[in-house]
Structure formats: structure tokens, C-alpha cells
Amino acid sequence: MTYKILFLDIDGTILKPDHTYTKLTKQAISQIKRQGIEIFLATGRPLHEIGELADELGVESFIGYNGAFAIYQNKTILDEPMKQSTINEYLSIAKEHGHELVFYTSEKNYFTSFDTPIINKFIETFQVKHNERVNSNVTDQILGITIMNLDPSQISLYEFEDDIRLAPVNVEGIVNSYDVIRKTVNKGEAIRRVLEHLHIPQQSAIAFGDGMNDKEMLQIVGEGFAMGNAHPDLIQYAKHQTTTVSESGVYQGLKKLGLIE
């Protein structure tokens, strides 16, 4: 098989819990680049927060906000904000039940508050810097949402539209937090659009992920890898399982395919 493109999740796939990556992970990405294989970072994170990492890894193409936005070499090829009515309903539900939200636009992260321990833990864990308090001027620009302080029994409160499912955030130290995933706008659908844009067949694509927001991504590519630290429910959607992020799972998976030494 000739592989032409690689999609990499960030947290738990490239980045370890201490926000660093192994030498072998970076080495693997460098070797893939030298072979002329396209590389995308495919993340739930807002793209305005990953520039430093992208520069370090030499990656110039991205899928962000769990598939709502995609850039190929500085050209936007996907931009799918959420419905403003959905955002307003989420704000109402969160206020009534004591949940915290962070909304992502193409430029900033908008939090419902800044004075709770769970918000402080989130900001510290993900090292997000472009933060403001949410306001009505941005509710028509939201590309993604994370819900915090949400008991699993309350998930259905936010899944009131057929197109929405919640995926647990699979990051050490973050509990009862969920990414909002749209069934028609997710990493898998974004990859499908990217592959169509670049005229690359699905069989020639590889992806690595660890969280339930990676489910569609691992299903759509020819070679999908679940990390050794993946959410247990993700494994069934992956063709392969590799080692943990701390054990350079990306390197080991690509080695398994015979792409690196």
C-alpha cells in the first residue's frame, strides 16, 4: 500500500500528560515528512492555541475544533460554525444546572466564568491563553464547545438535537468534561473533505487517536490506530492498537506499517 497522508490527534497522541512529546514521536513525524506524505494535526483544540507545537513539528495543515475547521497549507477548506440557537440553549442549560462551558471561535476561547477550580484546572491543563468571557457578540461564530462539571447522568440534557453527541475528554486530570461532537461535523467528516480536496483515496490515509472524539477519524481512514492509552470504548473503531503516548505510540505504529525504521 502506498500511503499519502497522516492525521494525528494532539492530546494523548502526540503530547504526553506533561505537555511534552517523546524524541521518537518527533523523529517519526520528520521521517514521514521527508517521504512526501502529507501531515495534518487533527484536534479538538482551537487552532489559535497550537501554533507553537505546529512550528516545532513542522506541520502546516490542520483540522481543528473536532472537525469544524480545516486548513491545508494556509488555505481554509472547511469552516462549519454551530447554530446560534444551539449555543443559546447550551448557555441556558449550563446556567440552570451549574455547568461550565468553553466556546471556541477561530480567534479566542470564551468561558462562562473564570472563578471556579474546574475552569482553572482546564486552562492549566490545556495551556490555553486567548481567553475571554463569553458574550452575545460571538454566539454566531462558535466552532466547538467543551462542557465541564457535567455528571454522566446529565449528558442527555445537551444531546437534544439528533446531530449532537458528547464525547468524554480523555486527558489525565480532566474529569466530567465532554466535547460536543456533531455527527455531520467531526474529525472523520473533515478528513473525508480533505481527502476529496487532495484527491487521495481513504485506503492511503493513516490516523492516530486516543479519545472518543477520534472515533469517526479512525473509522474513515485505511489504517486507524488507537493509542495504548486510548479510551476503552475507542479500541473497537480502530484497525490497530499501538503503544501509549509515553511509549511513542505514533512511532511504533508507523514502524508497524513499514514507513519508518
On whether residue 261 sits in a domain, the answer given is no
Pairing of strands 144-148, 164-168: unpaired
pLDDT at 173: 86
172 pLDDT exceeds 90?
no
220 neighbors 194 (Cβ within 8 angstroms): no
Residue 115 lies in a domain: yes
pLDDT average, residue stretch 3-32: 97
Q: Are residues 191 and 118 in the same domain?
A: no
Residue 184: what pLDDT? 94
The whole-angstrom separation of Cα 233 and Cα 241 is 13
Say yes or no: 159 and 204 in one domain.
Answer: no
What's the pLDDT tens digit per position in 221-246? Answer: 999 999 999 999 999 999 999 999 99
User: Across the chain, what does the average pLDDT equal?
Assistant: 96
Residue 247: pLDDT band with limits 50, 70, 90: very high
Give per-residue pLDDT as tens, 26-63.
999 999 999 999 999 999 999 999 999 999 999 999 99
d(CA 114, CA 124): 12
**Within this chain, do residues 138 and 70 fall inside the same structural domain, yes or no?**
no
In contact, 147 and 94? CB cutoff 8 Å:
yes
Is residue 202 domain-resident?
yes
Q: Is 108 within the bounds of a domain? A: yes
pLDDT higher than 90, residue 89? yes
Domain end marker among 182, 200, 228: 182
Domain with 95, as residue range(s), is 84-182
Percent of the residues in the chain that have a pLDDT greater than 70, as a whole number: 100
Number of domains in the chain: 2
Which residue spans within 65-122 are E strands per DSSP?
69-72, 75-79, 100-104, 109-111
Task: Quote the pLDDT of residue 261.
Answer: 81
Predicted pLDDT of residue 86: 97
Extended strands (E) in the chain: 5-8, 38-42, 61-64, 69-72, 75-79, 100-104, 109-111, 131-133, 144-148, 164-168, 178-182, 205-209, 223-226, 240-241
Residue 193's pLDDT is what? 96
Judged against a pLDDT cut of 90, whether residue 252 lies above it is answered with: yes
| Nearest residue to 185 via CA among 80, 41, 255, 106 | 80
Work out the average pLDDT over 69-75. 94
Q: What is the pLDDT of residue 123?
A: 94
pLDDT of the residue at 217 = 98
- Please report the pLDDT score of residue 115 as a whole number: 87
- Rounded-to-integer distance, Cα 139 and Cα 169, Å: 23
The pLDDT tens digits for 101-153 are: 999 999 999 999 998 999 999 999 999 999 999 999 999 999 999 999 999 99
* pLDDT at residue 208, rounded to an integer: 98
Residue 70 is part of a domain; what is its CATH number?
3.40.50.1000
Confidence of residue 167 (pLDDT cuts 50, 70, 90): very high
**Is 163 found in the same domain as 105?**
yes
Is residue 250 located within the same domain as residue 235? yes
* pLDDT at site 128: 93
Mean pLDDT of 176-203: 96
Residue 25 confidence (pLDDT): 98
